[in-house]
Amino acid sequence: MGKRAVYSKIECLDRSEIRKIQLSHLKEQLARCCDFSPFYQQKFRACGFEKNDIEKLEDIKNLPFTYRHELQEDKSRIPPYGGLILPDKKKWAEAHPTTGTTGQQFYAVWTKDDVARITDFTTRMLFSVGVRPGDIIHNSFQYGLRMGGLSVQRVAEKLGCFVLPIGEGPIRTQIEFLVNFRPTVLIGYPTFAFNLAEKLRERGIEPGKLSLRIGCFGGEPGVQVPSTRSRLEQELGIKAYDIYGLVEIGPMIAAECEEQDGLHFAEDYHLVEVINPETLQPCLSDEVGVLVITDLTREAMPLIRYWTNDIVRLSYDRCACGRTHVKLKGGIIGRADDIIIYHGNKFYPAQVENILHRFEELGTEFKVILHPDKNTGMEYCTVKVECLHVGLGIDILEDKIKKELREELKVSVKVELVPFGSLERETLKTKRVLDYRNT
């Protein structure tokens, strides 16, 4: 079974067994879509696909991708849910809006069995990072219409944990819960964790005074950035783990194990591919491309070859923990639409973050600002970052940061050090890039 405890034996099956399960589920799912989903009936008819055309997993490459804009357009044509959703409303249990920042929202609908499946694979994820019965979970994910907080709540109950459903409560209340209830697990966004660490430091509360053991962070890139993970672990006295999810598929569909060497998927629920965005062909193991996910068991609103726009690399090597399910190596590298193109070079905000968080003199808040010169029309890139101390040596520090950024990004950028606390804090996902070049 490997070095680590696992929640389910299915996590350690041989690859051949995993593929058999996936193929069986895939055939059943595609048959359901062909029979009941107007959205997929139209897409499959356009490419000449019929439900019995799948003989092996690799045949999925003959199916079209499903893009977010298609779901939005489908909802506009057939409000409020669109034609993707399967018709048996008696099975519907709940609906949740997507949280994307671009384009209009659409609704993710789940049946009672869908909710049970989500709870099952999310339980695996939290178990894999070390959550156990008796743990006290400080759950700062949103409740209400969003799925994150509610999903963690259900898993906590299933695992036999005591949950603090604080959600987006004020930072003062967050600290009171940390001090008074002494939770052992913190779940939330990396941005929130850094803001929390700042406020704890201001109140003179050192990490050793807390009882936290595990930090489980998702919703935005961060933990897989080595310097960010290191700072989170140091400032909160925890082991920091990365999780990945999206409302369209599930709030937590991949998570690290205690080896901290990539995020495991639950492949009996999801078929994952990495696609070259230029050729639209499958990438080999360890090649970088766009993550594409197919729901294998979802009833109400299955997505087939959903184009996530997240840039990743996959590894099929058996993990040291004993799990055999595919891993995201290095987490989410970036989003295809977040890539920064500057003076002919391409880089991601996470690369900037990795450099900045190496410097103990700097805070954790920063912005990458792309702007034109009003007189010459030339474009410039300025990295604005908070500095914990000002005074002598600031010029030397700026030069060091510029040098390391130039080596990492392969292009020179300006660096502007600003006083600590001067950049706006955001409770949820932080917008790191401000591009004014075409405004």
337-380 pLDDT, tens digit per residue, is 788 889 888 888 888 988 999 998 998 889 999 988 777 678 89
Q: Which residues in the chain are classed under CATH 3.40.50.12780?
A: 1-336
Per-residue pLDDT reduced to its tens digit, 292-308: 999 999 999 999 999 99
Task: Find out whether 327 and 312 touch, Cβ atoms under 8 Å.
Answer: no
**Per-residue confidence (pLDDT) for residue 425, from 0 to 100:** 73
**Domain range 1-336, CATH class:** alpha beta
pLDDT digits (tens, 9 = 90+) for 135-182: 999 999 988 777 889 999 999 999 999 999 999 889 999 999 999 999
Q: Are 129 and 123 in contact (CB under 8 A)?
A: no
pLDDT of residue 237: 96
Given a contact cutoff of 8 angstroms between Cβ atoms, the answer to whether 29 and 297 are in contact is: yes
Which range is least confidently modeled, 43-57, 163-177, 179-193, 412-426? 412-426
The dihedral region occupied by 124, where left means phi > 0, alpha psi between -120 and 50, and beta the remainder, is: alpha
Strand segments, DSSP code E, in 132-203 are 136-139, 162-164, 185-188
Q: How far is CA 329 from the centre of its chain?
A: 13
Integer Cα distance of 286 and 309 in angstroms: 17
In this prediction, residues 91-100 reach a mean pLDDT of: 79
**Dihedral of alpha carbons 348, 350, 355, 359, sign:** positive
Going by pLDDT thresholds of 50, 70 and 90, the confidence category of residue 99 is low
Q: How far apart are the first and last CA of the chain?
A: 56
Residue in the block written with tokens 């594409």: 292
pLDDT over 50 at 206, yes or no = yes
CATH 3.30.300.30 positions along the chain are: 340-435
pLDDT at 249 over 70: yes
- What pLDDT is recorded for position 426? 65
Domain spanning 340-435 has what CATH number?
3.30.300.30
- Overall average pLDDT of the 204-225 stretch: 91
The confidence score (pLDDT) of residue 268 equals: 97
Cβ atoms of residues 81 and 92 within 8 Å:
no
The residue type at 193: A
For the chain, the average pLDDT equals: 90
CA angle 81, 85, 86 (to 5 degrees): 140
| Whole-structure pTM value | 0.84
pLDDT of residue 336: 79
Would you say residue 238 has pLDDT above 80?
yes
Task: List Cβ neighbours of 404 (8 Å cut-off, separation of 6 or more).
Answer: 355, 358
Helix %, strand %, coil % of the chain (to 5):
35, 25, 40
Asked, as a colleague might, if the bond just before 419 is cis with ω within 30 of 0, I would say: no
> Do 12 and 32 meet the contact criterion of CB atoms below 8 Å apart?
no
Identify the bridge partners of residue 66 per DSSP, sorted by sequence position: 306
User: And the tokens for 352?
Assistant: 């900037």
- Whole-angstrom Cα distance, residue 296 to residue 224? 27
Give residue-wise pLDDT tens across range 50-65: 988 999 999 999 999 9
Using the structure block, give the residue that is written with the tokens 């068991």.
297
Residue ranges with strand state E in 379-428: 379-387, 414-419
pLDDT over 90 at 67, yes or no: yes
| pLDDT at position 261 over 90 | yes
**Residue 78: pLDDT band with limits 50, 70, 90:** confident
Task: Identify the weakest region by mean pLDDT among 29-43, 156-170, 175-189, 385-399.
Answer: 385-399
